[in-house]
Structure 1
Amino acid sequence: MSTWHHELGVFDLETTGVDVETARIVTAHVGLLGDQGEVRHGRYWLVDPGVEIPAEATAVHGITTELARAKGMDAGTAVAAIVDQLRRLFARGIPVVAYNAPYDFTLLDREARRHGIEPLDAPGPIIDPLVIDRAVDRYRPGKRTLSVTAVHYGVELTAAHDAGADAIAAGRLAQALVRAHGEALAMEAAELHHKQVDWCREQAADFQDYMRRVRDPEFTASGAWPLR
């Protein structure tokens, strides 16, 4: 049996948009869970992104431009703190869980570069329940959003699109995946990290083939993981 799930870092961002090259961080959470999913530590940031928060983004996470400007931390200061917290977890050898990791880690990388902060260098080990679930239960029909997948595995998510709630639920989901698919995930965190690189590439290739057959012959899907 593996032991990587006994202590997990958790990480989530809520942002101004979906494009990792241009979106800015609005809220973030980095925390630490114990082997029963209990919260041992957590830090939350409300950030002034320095740009208008689109109404579409506010509708998702509830943070308005006015609130972020009034209560939010300076973006550069916040990004430096987020990077530092993650770097400390990785330095201790603690895996960090992020659901759809390429979004959060790539966006954080771009924000770090935007603010002149040294980005995380080859961050890992990272645990991505989205990639893992698609690999161990490939043919299950339906959506694979965090909310839907949490319900499937019996993980409570009471405040979807709150950075703290999403991060903690993703960590507990990773632990639920071990309980459900222990044999397939019986490896050390570093090996699982590398497995996910391959799994994500294969999943993207399958999705690209499907989309080209049924919708758009020019469609492309990136399989890079955990950074794009």
Structure 2
Amino acid sequence: MSTTEHPHSPTWPDGPMLALDLETTGIDPETARIVSAAIATVGGGNAPQTTTWLIDPGVEIPAEATAIHGITTDQARTNGRPPAEALTEITAALAGSLESGAPLVVFRAPYALTVLARECARADVAFLHEAAPVIDPAVLDKQVERYRAGRRTLPALCAHYRVRHGGPNNAAEDALAAARLAWRLPRVHPSLAAIPLAELHTRQQTWAAEQATGLQEHLRRTDPHATVSGTWPLIP
């Protein structure tokens, strides 16, 4: 991801970013266990680097989860790291990046960051002192192209914004794809690049809440009891 230098007006899309992706045992962030994790460091004029972890979640990996990410219970038990070891390394990498001022890129952050926080609590590993600033391409895309039809999955957004995705449901490829989206979105929509990172984080909290309200209203046309959480970037 090379960028054109603008020495007179550097903005966050020109600097380094760190992207996180998780593959898990399920879709409920309160109960899902991490099976694999990846961190991709991109931007700032350096070649992208990825670090990956295979983790033994300590529970059976459901067949439907294996069908998505391809990791079986046997594979995780045989080759996976103990959760506490891996989580300590993951949170240290995230904290170090955030302390340096680089944003954390997480596609659909409330799921991944909540899973990570709950796993840290189970393993008695300290979670991030503050998960900020976060860039969530899912929230940004929905805000800047609110009425676009079609799916808004990670592969769909990569196709729409013409960024490369090496293969869905692989933590390393998904992390890189999320990072490429975070790099690309402010170039397609320059208004995003003009917002300082701290303010962009705060705005995404507002946008995510508004988006959740809109989705909830839509869902209640068919299910009067549907609820959608608008908490971002993670569930307390």
Q: Which TM-score tier does this pair reach, normalised by the shorter chain?
A: over 0.9
One-letter identity of the residue aligned with 2:32: A
After TM superposition, the structure 1 = structure 2 runs for residues 199-214 of structure 1, keeping only pairs within 5 Å, are: 199-212=207-220, 214=221
The equivalent position to 1:15 in structure 2, one of 17, 20, 24, is 24
Q: RMSD of the alignment, in Å?
A: 1.3
The two structures have a TM-score, normalised by structure 1, of: 0.96
Structure 2 counterpart of 1:94: 102
2:10 and 2:41 mapped to 1: Cα distance? Answer: 18
Give the match's secondary structure for 1:48.
Answer: coil
1:47 aligns with 2:55: yes
The amino acid that maps onto 1:175 is: W
Cα deviation 1:129-165 (Å, max 9, x = unaligned)? 0000000000000110000010000011121110000
In the alignment, the residues of structure 1 paired with residue 145 and residue 46 of structure 2 have an alpha-carbon distance, to the nearest angstrom, of: 22
Match of 2:38 among 29, 37, 54: 29
Q: 1:158 to 1:88 in 2, by over 3 A?
A: same
Whether 1:216 and 2:220 are equivalent positions in the alignment is: no
5+ residue gaps, structure 2, are: 1-8
Q: Which residue of 1 aligns with 2:5?
A: none
- Which one-letter code corresponds to 1:27 in the other structure? S
SS in 1 for 2:51: strand
AA matched with 1:75: P
One-letter code aligned to 2:168: A
Instruction: Provide the C-alpha distance between the structure 2 equivalents of 1:147 and 1:37, rounded to a whole number of angstroms.
Output: 25
1:52 is aligned with what amino acid? E
Number of residue pairs the alignment of both structures matches:
226
**Segments of 4+ in structure 1 off by > 2 A?**
35-38
8 Å contact kept, 1:2–1:186: no
Structure 1 Cα separation of the partners of residues 225 and 169 of structure 2: 32
Residue matched to 1:186: 194
Q: Which residue is equivalent to 1:159?
A: 167
| TM-score normalised by the chain length of structure 2 | 0.92
SS at match of 1:89: helix
Question: Offset at 1:210?
Answer: 1.3
